[in-house]
Structure 1
Amino acid sequence: MLTEELLTLAAAAGAAVATAAGTDAWEGLRTRLGGWLGRGDARGGEGALAELDAGAAELLADGTPTRAELERYGAAWRDRVITTLERLDGPEREEAAAELHRLVEREPAAREVRGGDQHVQGGIRVHAEQGSLAAALINGGVSFSPPPPPVRPEG
């Protein structure tokens, strides 16, 4: 079983793949991640590159993907990274995690998923049901503002 840190790192890698698809960042990320997934095996690396290319082509086939499509694509690559890490043990897993960490650090979208500061644009809703307790720990600045006034429908 992987540590929470490795699971977060895998999620960051998946987010990087999803957000880089179809952008100028794609070629560099696909090359680096394909090499990482191949773990020094040329055939494995070529297979990973083919998977990355096929997945990106499918994701972008209908034009701009929806948020849900990007999330599914990122989750699939997160799972692929998790599977790769789970196959490794001890020092080999540590080395792979360090390499993945360096790879992910280069990708802006992935940095937002990884641990540390979480940046949220929009609202955060904390909800409890049936006598449960919900809370949010906020360590840092918080600002509150009233909601915008209601808008009267036209017509």
Structure 2
Amino acid sequence: MLTEELLTLAAAAGAAVATAAGTDAWEELRARLGAWFGRGDSRQEEAALEELDGSAAALLEGGTPTGAELERYGAAWRDRVVATLERLDGPDREDAARDLRRLVVEDPAAPEIHGGDQNVRGDIRVHAEQGSLAAALIQGNVHFGPPPPPVRPEG
């Protein structure tokens, strides 16, 4: 059984993969996560990289994914991380947890982890469809700036 902290780290890793797919952050996160899954075994690392690439392609093949698609994708990668951690024991699990913590905290596309809470750096999109409601609870400071000026087409 994994601790709450490890489950939270796994969820943050899954969210980071979903958030980074198709963005400039993807290649770095992909490489770091592939190495994490490989744990020094180049065949396992290559298999993880292929799985990351294949699942990202599937996620993005229909254009911009919906919130539900991103959530399912993140959950699938969370489960993959959990399964990997569960196969490890003792010092190997501790090393993997330390490396995962470093990967999640250092990745700019990843949610920050603070005592079980999830704080997100970057954009947050809240979207509701088909008459449903969506909301975000914000505790703390919110800073707004003016939008960038419009770009006029040259012509």
TM-score where L is the length of structure 2: 0.75
Unaligned 5+ runs, structure 2: 125-134, 142-155
Tell me how far 1:123 sits from its aligned partner.
3.8
- Larger Rg belongs to: 1
Question: Structure 1: which amino acid aligns with 2:92?
Answer: E
Match of 1:8? 8
Superposed, 1:28-67 pairs within 5 Å as: 28-67=28-67
Work out the CA distance in 2 between the residues paired with 1:46 and 1:104.
20
Match of 2:20? 20
Residue 40 and residue 119 in structure 1: after superposition, are their counterparts in 2 closer, same or farther (change >3 A)? closer
Tell me how far 1:118 sits from its aligned partner.
4.3
How many residues get paired? Answer: 128
Residue 118 and residue 81 in structure 1: after superposition, are their counterparts in 2 closer, same or farther (change >3 A)? closer
Work out the CA distance in 2 between the residues paired with 1:119 and 1:91.
29
Secondary structure of 2:111's counterpart equals: helix
Match of 2:81? 81
Question: Structure 2: which amino acid aligns with 1:17?
Answer: V
Work out the CA distance in 2 between the residues paired with 1:115 and 1:52.
27
Kindly provide the CA deviation profile for residues 39-91 of structure 1, in whole angstroms up to 9, marking residues without a partner as x.
11110000000000000000000110000000000000000000000000011
Residue 29 and residue 118 in structure 1: after superposition, are their counterparts in 2 closer, same or farther (change >3 A)? closer
8 Å CA contact retained: 2:15, 2:111: no
Question: Structure 2: which amino acid aligns with 1:115?
Answer: H
Moved over 6 A (4+): none
8 Å CA contact retained: 1:18, 1:74: yes
Tell me how far 1:10 sits from its aligned partner.
0.2
Residue 6 and residue 77 in structure 1: after superposition, are their counterparts in 2 closer, same or farther (change >3 A)? same
What's the RMSD between the two structures over aligned residues? 2.3
Work out the CA distance in 1 between the residues paired with 2:88 and 2:136.
39
Match of 1:97? 97
8 Å CA contact retained: 1:13, 1:77: yes
Work out the CA distance in 2 between the residues paired with 1:82 and 1:76.
10
Residue 64 and residue 89 in structure 1: after superposition, are their counterparts in 2 closer, same or farther (change >3 A)? same
Question: Structure 1: which amino acid aligns with 2:32?
Answer: R
Kindly provide the CA deviation profile for residues 74-126 of structure 1, in whole angstroms up to 9, marking residues without a partner as x.
000000000000000011100110001111012234234x33454587444xx
8 Å CA contact retained: 1:8, 1:115: no
Secondary structure of 1:108's counterpart equals: coil
TM-score where L is the length of structure 1: 0.75
